[in-house]
Amino acid sequence: MTSGTITDGPALRDPHTPDSRIGHGPDYLHAEHTLRSWFFTTDHKRIALLYLASITAFFVIGAVTAGLVRLALVVPDGQVFTNDTYNKLFTIHGVVMVWFFLIPSIPATFGNFLIPLMIGARDLAFPKLNLASWYVFMTGAFFTLVSVVLGGVDTGWTFYTPLSTAFSNTWVVPALIGVTIVGFSSILTGLNFVVTIHTMRAPGMTWFRLPIFVWTHYATSLIFLLATPVITVALVLLIAERAFHIGVFDPAYGGDPVLFQHLFWFYSHPAVYIMVLPGMGVISEIVPAFAQKKLFGYRFVAYAAIGLASVTFFVWGHHMFVNGQSDLASVAFSVLSFAVAVPSAVKVYNWTATIHKGSLKLDTPMLYAMGYIGLFVLGGLTGLYLATLAINQHVHATYFVVAHFHYIMVGGTVLAFLGGLHFWWPKFTGRMYIEAWGRISAVLIFIGFNVTFFPQFILGYLGMPRRYHVYPAEFQFLNILSSAGSTILAVGYIFPMIYLVYAIWFGKRAPANPWDARGLEWTVASPPPAHNFLTEPQAPKVPYDYPIQARETGRQHS
């Protein structure tokens, strides 16, 4: 192993690793077969699949609890569960969905798999650290599952003190430990991405030749690095407060319960963009590929990602307009929250302009992308309603907020996740899924989602508070409508789990580039070889070099 003792001179290689420039190895799925080769792999592609399996499991837990919550809300008098059970159900739904699905969803799976391929690298900069971050994630997951198995938590995913520190009688500490640990997994992933994007780009792959997917992941990673430590401190203090009554959040000792909310939202608002930005990256890949047209306004879209990641650090106070925050602070947070909508709007208009005069194929990923644009726009604009101080005084903590963030989280992140999953599934597995099933479930999810969540905007404006198990009877009709929609949504989620898994064994073999898309990941075989590139990757001179381009005469194509 040590034959390659090297000075700073030209690189010699460890003879045991096949050189991608020389050898023709098997693809990464078949390079090795043992269980050990999966659980101790340092291949970013295999780690991505480990993450994909884990977050899918968590998505199922989160979705089942959501289904139970919707079931409970069919009747207004809370007869399905006890109040405590209901509170635990929505807490588990929130904790699992936010920290164990949405935050790692796109970065840890697609980001892990695709960033090295897109920039022409053999792996992430720190492959062992990448594996370690999955184990850290699973350790955190273990603690959270322990708390759920022992009897659950009932604080809500926001863990507001003093409820969480002094009044709740549930398993708060294991849940908090789990969430704290998962934060380290995010930090390690973000660190790996930042270093990889900075140092591992193939020769000729300049910053402005990078796909937008890489740009948005770079912005996301910055948020991981800069915001996560703050939630770590906040949660550590919260654990200490609950276990030892140290007093930081207790007014009896000169502490302040609202301080926790500041620390919490200083992370958790940027965390919204941890969930949203990678989704924007996915959409920015899908839309040009299925319009066969160069992405409109590439630089603006790239800068918008960085802009979002920056401004998002200054808007956390809009979660606390009615929590006794000073009025001037509220006004400042309000106007900054309006400003944060600007880069989002840039992206939406540029995607629309990309479709204009393209040559559209309405395949499954594109259907998801179009659904995404519609739902994200609604979610974003209702966010502006919430940023308007006078409206916020009314709809704060009502179902309006619930509807708003589900339009962003489900309409945004989950749809982008599913779109990306269908877009890159052939690359991940080397197989094609059945297109018709894909289209059916995309349409089902879009319809089911809107039936589930649109009534909640109305419920919220009517004044139904969130996290209510027992609610006034006049809200029952809209709640039943919402619950009915969730069953359609559930069917839409179950279909892909079946036909995508089916495709792994029985699907048609996928060509290297089934969508005729641009980008380095499509220049390698499907599935990619174990070391990604058999020949030195050639960076394209322009990103998104599709046949149709703005301000050029359209060329003929098939």
Partner 1 sequence: MNPTDLALRLWPPAASATAVETDWLILAFTVLTLLLTVPVFVAITWFAIRYRQGEPADRSHGTIRSVLIEISWMLIPFLLTLIFFVWGARLFFISKQAPGDAMVIEAIGRQWMWKFQHPTGQSEINDLHLPIGQPIKIRMISQDVIHNLYFPVFRMQMATLPDRYTEMWFKPDRTGTYRLYCSEYCGTDHSRMDGTLTLMTQADYAAWLQNAGAQQGGQAGAGRAIYESYACGTCHDPGAKVRAPSLAGLYGREVRLADGRIVTADEAYLRDKILNPNRQKLAADYKQVMPAFRNVIPTDDLDRLVAYLKSGRATAQQEASP
Partner 2 sequence: MSGGTSVGVRLASHFATVEQQKHAAVLGMWAWLLTELLLFAGLFLTALILRLTHPEAVQAAARHLKFWIGAVNTVVLIGSSLTMSGAIQLSRLGWQRGMVRFMLATAALGTLFLALKGYEYYADYHEHMMPFLSDRPYALTDSPPSRLFVNLYYVATGLHGLHLLTGIAILLAMTRQASRPGFLAAHQNRIEIFGLYWHFIDLIWIVAFPTLYVLNR
Q: Is 81 in the site for partner 1 (CB under 8 A)?
A: no
CB of 242 to partner 2, least distance (A): 12
70 binds, among partner 2, partner 1, none (CB under 5 to 8 A by kind): none
Residue placing its CB nearer to partner 2 in the complex, 69 or 114: 114
**Whose CA is closest to 278, among 128, 127, 101, 141?**
101
**Whose CA is closest to 194, among 280, 129, 101?**
129
CB of 11 to partner 2, least distance (A): 5
**Whose CA is closest to 295, among 411, 219, 210, 381?**
210
Helix (H) or strand (E) holding 556: none
Q: Is 196 in the site for partner 2 (CB under 8 A)?
A: yes
**In this chain, which of 195, 397, 447, 512 binds partner 1, going by CB under 8 A?**
397
Query: What are the φ/ψ torsions at residue 353 (nearest 5 degrees)?
Result: -65, -30
Region near partner 2 per CB under 8 A, out of 49-57, 126-134, 374-382, 518-526? 126-134
- What count of Cα atoms within 13 Å lies in the side-chain half-sphere of residue 182? 29
Buried b (16+ CB within 10 A) or exposed e, 25-55: eeebbebeeeeeeeeebebbbbbbbbbbebb
Residues β-bridged to residue 27: 529
168 binds, among partner 2, partner 1, none (CB under 5 to 8 A by kind): partner 1
Q: Is 102 in the site for partner 2 (CB under 8 A)?
A: no
- Judging by beta carbons within 10 Å of its beta carbon (0-12, 13-18, 19+), is residue 453 exposed, middle or buried? buried
Q: Is 191 in the site for partner 2 (CB under 8 A)?
A: yes
6 CB neighbour count, 10 Å cutoff: 10
Residue placing its CB nearer to partner 1 in the complex, 331 or 436: 331
How many residues touch partner 2 under the rule CB under 8 A: the total is 51
Helix (H) or strand (E) holding 320: none
Specify whether the CB–CB gap between 482 and 455 falls below 8 A. yes
- Give the tokens for residue 375: 């739902």
Specify whether the CB–CB gap between 188 and 232 falls below 8 A. no
Single-letter code of the amino acid located at 421: L
CB of 358 to partner 2, least distance (A): 36
Calpha distance 264→319 (Å, rounded): 10
Single-letter code of the amino acid located at 482: S
Angle between helices 399-408 and 364-387 (to 10 degrees): 140
Angstrom distances, CA of residue 295 to CA of 211, 288, 292: 10, 5, 9
CB of 257 to partner 1, least distance (A): 6
Residue placing its CB nearer to partner 2 in the complex, 11 or 35: 11
Residue placing its CB nearer to partner 2 in the complex, 198 or 357: 198
Residue placing its CB nearer to partner 2 in the complex, 86 or 224: 224
Residue placing its CB nearer to partner 2 in the complex, 159 or 400: 159
**Whose CA is closest to 453, among 411, 415, 417, 495?**
411
**Whose CA is closest to 122, among 13, 222, 224, 273?**
13
CB of 313 to partner 2, least distance (A): 12
How many residues touch partner 1 under the rule CB under 8 A: the total is 93
Window 258 to 287, contacts with partner 2 (CB under 8 A): 259, 263
551 binds, among partner 2, partner 1, none (CB under 5 to 8 A by kind): partner 1
Give the angle subtended at the CA of 527 by the CAs of 60 and 31, to the nearest 5°. 100
Window 361 to 390, contacts with partner 1 (CB under 8 A): 361-362, 370, 373-374, 377-378, 381, 384-385, 387-390
**In this chain, which of 22, 169, 254, 505 binds partner 2, going by CB under 8 A?**
254
- Give the tokens for residue 337: 């929250």
Window 287 to 346, contacts with partner 1 (CB under 8 A): 291-293, 296-297, 300, 321-324, 327, 330-331, 334-335, 338-339, 341-342, 345-346
CB of 253 to partner 2, least distance (A): 4
Window 212 to 241, contacts with partner 2 (CB under 8 A): 225-226, 228-230, 232-234, 236-237, 240
Window 17 to 36, contacts with partner 2 (CB under 8 A): 17
Residue placing its CB nearer to partner 1 in the complex, 29 or 97: 97
CB of 533 to partner 2, least distance (A): 11
6 binds, among partner 2, partner 1, none (CB under 5 to 8 A by kind): partner 2
Helix (H) or strand (E) holding 1: none
Applying CB under 8 A, the residues found at the interface with partner 2 are 2, 4-8, 11-14, 17, 121-127, 129, 187, 191-192, 194-196, 198-200, 225-226, 228-230, 232-234, 236-237, 240, 244-248, 252-255, 259, 263, 531
